[in-house]
Amino acid sequence: MSIQSAVTISLVKEAEGGPFVFWHDLAAACAKAAELGYDAVEVFAPNADAIPVDELRQLTQQHSLKVAAVGTGGGWVIHKWHLCQPDAGSRDNAKNFIRSIIDAGAQLGAPAIIGSMQGRFEGAVSREQALEYLRAALNELGEHAKAAGVPLIYEPLNRYESNLLNRAEDTVAFLDTLDTNNVVILADLFHMNIEEANIADALRTYGKHIGHLHFVDSNRRPAGCGHMDYTAIASALKEISYDRYASAEAFPWPDSDSAAKATIDAFNQYLA
Ligand code: LER
Ligand code: MN
């Protein structure tokens, strides 16, 4: 098995301006992704009901694509829910929101990603308390995903988006405290470029824990449009036998089609 390519499609109006390659038009995005030779698409929808499971199944079959993953960040972007809020009601809203996206994604064989929905510690919630909330939620949702036949993907973010776990070393130590074995890591090269001393070494630290990769450049432009050292990254991924998706989560710079083309070119150069 080798690394497979994927490209993001956002269906979330409130996320406009964010780092997603294709926007709003699933059919056009799937056609373009297939034309460029991508293996899969990653879909970011406002909520579980807005994931058009039947349409996606039909489109991906038609174009011989897979669904690599589904995002859950809509719960944060639209409702400001997250897993570390002080009141149990808001944490439950966040968990229910994620659970329903796990279920929708599982119908397409796609795992859900917990990125922005992990939240942060602030105010009355201490760091220790927040990590306890996160641990409990990942245990519960990880087992829920296991029953649905998919892993659960946890994405460490950079310090400007979360103050929970920003680096590989801390994340791996935290993972070791989970009861579930169904949580894998999303290594987003943009976040890692901000936080890690050496991205290739951090990928080695994650090792077998990595289940998904956001393939993007240092400035969050498409791979190849910044100063990321992809040669070093590619050797680290080879060393750890990484064989899941490298998914283009980047700004549609200078436009969606060019961003998708730049990423697949870099993918073919370094990771294929
Ligand atoms: C989502 O995958 C991500 O990387 C976060 O920064 C939210 O945009
Ligand atoms: Mn990401």
**At 82, which amino acid appears?**
H
In this predicted structure, the answer to whether residue 197 has a pLDDT above a threshold of 90 is: yes
Residue-wise pLDDT tens digits, 19-49: 999 999 999 999 999 999 999 999 999 999 9
Q: How far is CA 13 from CA 23, 42, 105, 129, in A?
A: 9, 16, 20, 33
Residue ranges per structural domain of the chain = 4-270
Tell me the mean pLDDT in the region 150-162.
98
Q: Whose CA is nearest to atom 3 of ligand 1?
A: 115
Q: Measured in angstroms, how far is the CA atom of residue 215 from the centroid of ligand 2?
A: 9
pLDDT band at 50 (very low <50, low <70, confident <90, very high): very high
Residue-wise pLDDT tens digits, 95-120: 999 999 999 999 999 999 999 999 99
Angle between helix 127-147 and helix 88-106 axes, rounded to 10 deg: 30
Give the atom of ligand 1 at the shortest distance from the alpha carbon of 115: 1
Residue-wise pLDDT tens digits, 220-270: 999 999 999 999 999 999 999 999 999 999 999 999 999 999 999 999 999
Tell me the mean pLDDT in the region 129-147.
98
pLDDT at 169: 98
Cβ atoms of residues 133 and 162 within 8 Å: no
pLDDT band at 1 (very low <50, low <70, confident <90, very high): confident
Q: Which residues contact 154 (CB under 8 A, 6 or more apart)?
A: 113, 114, 118, 138, 171, 175, 183, 184, 185, 186
Residue-wise pLDDT tens digits, 167-192: 999 999 999 999 999 999 999 999 99
73: three-class secondary structure by DSSP = coil
* Cis-peptide into 254, omega within 30 deg: yes
Ligand 1 neighbour 39 (Cβ under 6 A): no
Tell me the mean pLDDT in the region 59-71.
98
The third-level CATH classification (topology) of the domain covering 4-270 is TIM Barrel (3.20.20)
Ligand 1 neighbour 42 (Cβ under 6 A): no
Instruction: Tally Cβ neighbours within 10 Å of residue 126.
Output: 11
**Which of 188, 217, 251 has the most ligand 1 atoms within 8 A of CB, as the residue to mutate?**
188
pTM, two decimals, is 0.98
In this predicted structure, the answer to whether residue 17 has a pLDDT above a threshold of 80 is: yes
Whole-number percent of the chain with pLDDT over 90: 100
